[in-house]
Amino acid sequence: MYYKSMHLVILKTDIKTKKKVKKIKSLLNNHPLIINWSVDTEDIDNVLRIEAVNSLHEREVVDMIRQKGFFCTHLTS
């Protein structure tokens, strides 16, 4: 599927294992504005990378992940 206005949301999390990734899987897979996503459990910041339509806001993702009981914040360089 092709979207004209895509952007990346890149966040620092405490999602450190594949078991924890599974806890957010259905939440992110079923979100209508999220095209693709991944969590790098090998990275020190456990980076959550989301390809989304432009109307998805970082704050919305942070709130969704926090509601599942995980830490999630903007990744600063």
- Residue 40: which CATH number? 3.30.70.100
Coil, helix or strand at residue 36:
strand
User: Domain span at residue 25?
Assistant: 6-74
pLDDT tens digits along 17-69: 999 999 999 999 999 999 999 999 999 999 999 999 988 999 999 999 999 99
Instruction: Specify the DSSP element, H or E, that contains 58.
Output: helix 58-67
Q: Dig out the tokens for 6 from the structure.
A: 């895509």
Beta bridge partners of 36: 51
Q: Does residue 59 lie within any of the structural domains?
A: yes
Say what the pLDDT of residue 23 is: 97
Please tell me the predicted confidence (pLDDT) of residue 3.
53
Q: Is residue 28 part of a domain?
A: yes
Which pLDDT band, with edges at 50, 70 and 90, does 75 fall under? confident
Residue 1 included in any domain: no
Under a CB-based contact definition with an 8 Å cutoff, are residues 55 and 9 in contact? no
Domain count, the chain: 1
Inform me whether the pLDDT recorded for 4 exceeds 80: no
Secondary structure (3-state) at 10: strand
In a domain, 58, yes or no: yes
